[in-house]
Structure 1
Amino acid sequence: MTPDAAEVLLAEGACCEATCGGFQCPSGWKARSAANEIVQPSPDICCYRTCELHVCDAGSDLTLRGDAALVAGTTDDDCCVSTCSTYSCSQKGYILRLDAGEITGGVGGNSDAACCAKSCALFRCAGRFKQVDNPAEVVGDTAEVCCTAGVDS
């Protein structure tokens, strides 16, 4: 004798535990691997919290990683990277970019390439032009930015 549809549904409900296989993780959470093998679905069991939900320490130069939505984490160490604002340029004549407080070198860390720009100290003015005052403190490498009218002394 073949069971009817109601008997089949009742039997499946009694024999099987729900898994995370079809569970929808909330925003800021990502599904764990092998979801079909994990039972008792809930956000904490089926999903991992991503760095997208983390807030970096406001009293620091930290900002969320660029890949925060893909990375599991709940701490500044897991989820945050330093902006360039406290980076020290190692090349002579280079200074922090004007947007140093808003950019990072990424997950690999800050570097001269990411955080620094030429200062006017490296630019030589021609003819009757001289360098601006404090050229080592001015980001630029053009006559328009680095030079003023007058004779260099």
Structure 2
Amino acid sequence: MDIILIQDVDNLGAKNEVVKVRNGYARNFLIPQKFAVEASSSNLKQLEERMKIVRKKEEVMLAAIKEVIAKLKDGVLKIGAKTGTSGKIFGSVTSLQLSRAIREQKGYEIDRKKISIVDEVKELGTYKANIDFGNGHSTEVEFEVVAE
């Protein structure tokens, strides 16, 4: 029996995927548990419509991500830090500070969990950080730590 998965099922398939399973498995487990629906012609048409909507949303999201990446690559972010006399900073610069700097200087809200700083930032200077937007899209951002 062919079915359309409504949600991801381990060892079977992903959401919106059409798979072939045994009749008893589909009728006694997958369909009653709302994991799947029968792959009738009307359900297949609904799946096609859902997939069109999902593709359009992904295209819009991809365009927005490309715009953000272009803005982030334009120019160097400046992050202020308190320093001692030798140029070393007190503490270190974190992804939270970098996220705030992006919000204040570029106008984009980026979750700090998506930011990973390449080197440990303990002194004044220029450093790099990676921002992962998901779906294989990431960028490298340059930032400069300056004395407050």
Q: TM-score scaled by structure 1?
A: 0.25
Return the structure number with greater relative CO, CA threshold 8 A, min gap 6: 2
Of Structure 1 and Structure 2, the greater strand share is in: 2
Larger Rg: 1
Of Structure 1 and Structure 2, the greater helix share is in: 2
